[in-house]
Structure 1
């Protein structure tokens, strides 16, 4: 177990504790259920032989993805309960890439594109995202990516506010 150390996060000091790294293709559903947040173990490459850029390590004792992580693989569940999902979360954009579902027969992660009508699925994040629980992700055809429903709503509100501002400028003139 590796301790990252004391880190200041939003004026709160916290300790991030990492678990043992393993190759990304060996991270199982059970691993992610135990620790729903995984990051690349890039800092481990120099310390241990055989570890390369494809290895990941879990964040222990935490169920909250913080902004400072930038990207993390997280566990999600389809809203209909049918699929367990692993995806790389871009926390700034609140988008998912490298989206995979757990195939129980083959006991491995497979690309979500193998699921018929995958663009109609919605997923709920198992860990919190910046302290917010139950963040839902859906497919955004305009961006061709899964993104959080709240980020789409925020963009819509921003566009609406911008259009309102522009309209009021033209009406005054």
Structure 2
């Protein structure tokens, strides 16, 4: 059996990382459509046990995971772009609205959509600042702090009783 990198083995590893089954990856990489399914399954299983292939699949998967990982800091930074956006950045010094390709990256990130009519007039729609502000508030626990400040009299009463509630008691002479 071949060891190390070959174009077919590389393609097999790539197909595995893309989500193909071992047999399907083998069929694609080795153009094995005419082989019997049992033979394809056997060879794909053997290939998957190969040290180079296992290492290559792990390497490719780690790269994909790195690309797909969204960090909390990235999300907060993106929300911050909206929260701290300034509408004045969509105009030139002469007051003319900038075209979308003229906007800086931070300003472009806060625009939900735009329309340019037949006369060239531009209409920008921005992402909602209130919604964007909720995200960092939740992340920082600021809603929790606010909720603790609002006293709930019933909750305070029940907390003070600490489970020492007997239940309804009939009064003498009534009932």
Question: Which TM-score bucket, shorter chain as reference?
Answer: under 0.3
Superposition TM-score, scaled by structure 1 size: 0.25
Bigger proportion of residues as helix? 2
Structure number with larger C-alpha Rg: 2
